[in-house]
Amino acid sequence: MSPALALLACAVALESAPAQAPLAFQPGRQPASELAPELRHAIDRRAAPYAFESFRLFGRDSALLVFADSALTGEAMQANRWMFGPPTTAAEADSCPPEKVLGRKLARLLWRGLNKPRELHYIIVAVHGTKDRDRFTVYTMYYQRGQLEAPWVGDER
């Protein structure tokens, strides 16, 4: 095959291939309103002022929560000025980066609200911006089972 023909074949293949989208925008998400009302309200209260938009269960081992934050911009992230949630203490962070503490609280709330399923190993919390091109700026946090089940000073008392 000639180099020009090979290049043309690659271009056609690339154009027809679906673009990879961040988890926060992939199909299969359900509106937050479809989550059990008591659990949805608990997540809404804990997440305020961030809008709880959607969720998704991936088989039996993973879950996703999606939130919107108008303060999340690419510029704010690059300048390290964006934070998901209020400031935290070192004890509350418990080796989590400060911007992940609220996400951990939300992940643990979902895990408990689902009755602590043994097969659930990951909860992903994704936050996206809301303005202009920053609607596609996403910060994604992953929480493993150990971060869901162990006692934590950040829990509500």
| Distance of alpha carbon 105 from alpha carbon 127, whole angstroms | 14
pLDDT of residue 5 exceeding 70, the answer is no
More confident residue, 105 or 7: 105
Q: What is the pLDDT of residue 127?
A: 95
| Distance of alpha carbon 121 from alpha carbon 134, whole angstroms | 30
Q: What is the pLDDT of residue 4?
A: 44
Task: Quote the radius of gyration of the chain (alpha carbons, Å).
Answer: 19
More confident residue, 124 or 17: 124
| Distance of alpha carbon 136 from alpha carbon 157, whole angstroms | 36
The reply to whether the predicted model has a pTM over 0.75 is yes
pLDDT of residue 89 exceeding 90, the answer is no
Task: Check: CB of residue 128 under 8 Å from CB of residue 137.
Answer: yes
| Distance of alpha carbon 142 from alpha carbon 34, whole angstroms | 22
Q: What is the pLDDT of residue 151?
A: 74
